[in-house]
């Protein structure tokens, strides 16, 4: 009887290793493309969030006749019983809440006693903790509550704060960055600021006529005050942050609530130009991609995207601006009244 040998149909160890190596190479080649596709999708969502904020700004303009005020200062949050304009301590995002379908957050504490204690004081802690997803860019961080750091005059402290990844365009003039008035002289300050309020640490609370952006402290601007084209004046944009401080609440320009008044948590600035048109503070205000190990006290616009940062303009359009944008042109885009002519390609 003649024995027959059956041919093995399995893989040899060498063949298996070759296949695994090929699969590994293919995954390595595809992974950057997958990551790029994910970032592109996140960037699209981020752009849409700014578009919604820009549309809300236009609706605010249509209803009230002016763009939102940026409120009083970092120690005050929005008060539903103080309307809009100079009487409203809350910042630009608080003022936009009704136009984003978020009256439920805007009206927290309405009709309650306050402002510096009692039922309203306690209720506004809920406002400070109310997270709004469209205030966040998914390329940067999740839409969740973040650790607190600083307190407010008119609100108790929640466990976590609502934050934002977007900042109002406050032009090239920062002015004073006040904390607002002391609670004891709020009513006096609304109509005629008195010496007792000024001497108690509220210096700079009055509107500054030099402000040349769209939203500033205790100040509002009408459409007629935008002397440049609305398509050439930024309304808001993504803000620069240190990547080390995304989740800590420790950065001094990201340590407060999204509903606070005028502060670098919610407001950012473009470069200042001297009389000859030269940039005077490029190191502090040139837009930049988020980086680690940097000082969180910043006045810059910027983003987590590798390709640039989004800005929504006063006509409601959203554009992706390069980190290497000409800083003179960038300054023009932030100044509502410079009347400068420049090429649209930037």
Q: What is the pLDDT of residue 18?
A: 79
Q: What is the pLDDT of residues 139-178, one digit of tens each?
A: 999 999 998 777 788 899 998 999 999 999 999 998 776 6
CA distance 144 to 294: 23
The pLDDT > 70 percentage for the chain reads 86
CA distance 288 to 325: 10
Q: How far is CA 346 from CA 104, 309, 328, in A?
A: 40, 13, 11
pLDDT band at 193 (very low <50, low <70, confident <90, very high): very low
| Phi, psi torsion values for 262, nearest 5 degrees | -50, 120
In this structure, the strands spanning 234-238 and 146-147 are unpaired
Residue 11 tokens, joined: 């893989």
Q: What is the pLDDT of residue 195?
A: 47
pLDDT band at 22 (very low <50, low <70, confident <90, very high): confident
Q: What is the pLDDT of residue 177?
A: 64
Is pLDDT above 80 for 199?
Answer: no
Is pLDDT above 70 for 194?
Answer: no
On whether the CB atoms of residues 217 and 206 are closer than 8 A, the answer is no
CA angle, residues 71, 72, 76, in degrees to nearest 5: 100
Q: What is the mean pLDDT of residues 112-123?
A: 86
Is pLDDT above 70 for 189?
Answer: no
| Phi, psi torsion values for 238, nearest 5 degrees | -70, 150
The better pLDDT of the pair 218, 176 is held by 218
Is pLDDT above 70 for 34?
Answer: no
Give the contacts of 293 (CB within 8 A, at least 6 positions apart): 242, 244
Distance of CA 107 to the CA centre of its chain: 22
Q: What is the mean pLDDT of residues 93-98?
A: 98
Q: What is the pLDDT of residue 4?
A: 54
- Average per-residue pLDDT in the chain? 86
Residue 9 CB-density burial (10 A; 0-12 exposed, 13-18 middle, 19+ buried): exposed
H/E run at residue 195: helix 195-199
Is pLDDT above 60 for 3?
Answer: no
DSSP-assigned letters across all residues of 207-251: --TT--SSSBTTB---GGG--S-GGGSEEEEEB--BGGGTTTS-S
Q: What is the pLDDT of residue 190?
A: 54
Is pLDDT above 60 for 117?
Answer: yes
Domain ranges of the chain: 20-334
CA distance 190 to 176: 18
Q: What is the pLDDT of residue 59?
A: 98
Q: Is 61 helix (H, G, I), strand (E, B) or coil?
A: helix
Is pLDDT above 70 for 8?
Answer: no
CA distance 313 to 62: 16
- Is the omega angle on the peptide bond into residue 85 within 30 degrees of 0, that is, cis? no
Which among 138, 66, 56, 136 is positioned nearest to 97, based on CA atoms? Answer: 56
Is pLDDT above 70 for 121?
Answer: yes
On whether the CB atoms of residues 105 and 127 are closer than 8 A, the answer is yes
Which of 97-101, 305-309, 333-337, 342-346 comes out lowest in average pLDDT?
Answer: 342-346
């Amino acid at each position: 009887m003649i024995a027959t040998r059956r041919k093995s149909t399995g893989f040899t160890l060498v063949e298996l290793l070759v296949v695994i190596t090929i699969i590994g190479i293919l995954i390595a080649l595809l992974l950057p493309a997958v990551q790029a596709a994910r970032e592109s999708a996140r960037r699209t969502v981020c752009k849409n969030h700014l578009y919604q904020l820009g549309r809300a700004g236009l609706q605010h303009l249509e209803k009230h006749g002016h763009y939102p005020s940026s409120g009083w200062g970092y120690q005050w949050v929005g008060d539903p019983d103080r309307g809009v304009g100079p009487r409203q301590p809350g910042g630009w995002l608080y003022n936009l809440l009704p136009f984003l379908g978020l009256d439920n957050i805007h009206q927290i504490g309405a009709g309650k006693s306050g402002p510096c204690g009692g039922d309203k004081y306690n209720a506004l802690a809920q406002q400070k903790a109310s997270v709004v997803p469209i205030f966040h860019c998914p390329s940067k961080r999740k839409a969740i509550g973040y650790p607190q750091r600083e307190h407010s005059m008119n609100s108790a402290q929640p466990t976590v704060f609502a934050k934002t990844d977007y900042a109002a365009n406050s032009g090239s003039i920062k002015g004073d960055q006040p904390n607002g008035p002391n609670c004891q002289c709020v009513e006096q300050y609304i109509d005629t600021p008195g010496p007792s309020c000024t001497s108690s640490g509220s210096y700079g609370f009055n509107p500054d006529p030099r402000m040349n952006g769209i939203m500033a402290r205790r100040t509002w601007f009408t459409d007629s005050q935008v002397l440049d084209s609305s398509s050439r004046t930024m309304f808001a944009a993504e803000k620069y942050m240190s990547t080390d401080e995304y989740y800590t609440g420790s950065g001094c320009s990201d340590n407060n609530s999204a509903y606070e008044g005028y502060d670098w948590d919610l407001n950012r600035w473009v470069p200042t130009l001297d009389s000859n048109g030269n940039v005077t503070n490029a190191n502090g205000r040139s837009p930049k991609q988020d980086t680690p190990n940097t000082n969180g006290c910043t006045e810059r616009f910027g983003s987590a995207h590798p390709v640039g940062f989004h800005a929504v303009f006063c006509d409601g359009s959203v554009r992706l601006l390069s980190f290497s944008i000409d800083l003179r042109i960038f300054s023009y885009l932030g100044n509502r009244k410079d009347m400068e002519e420049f090429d649209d390609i930037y």
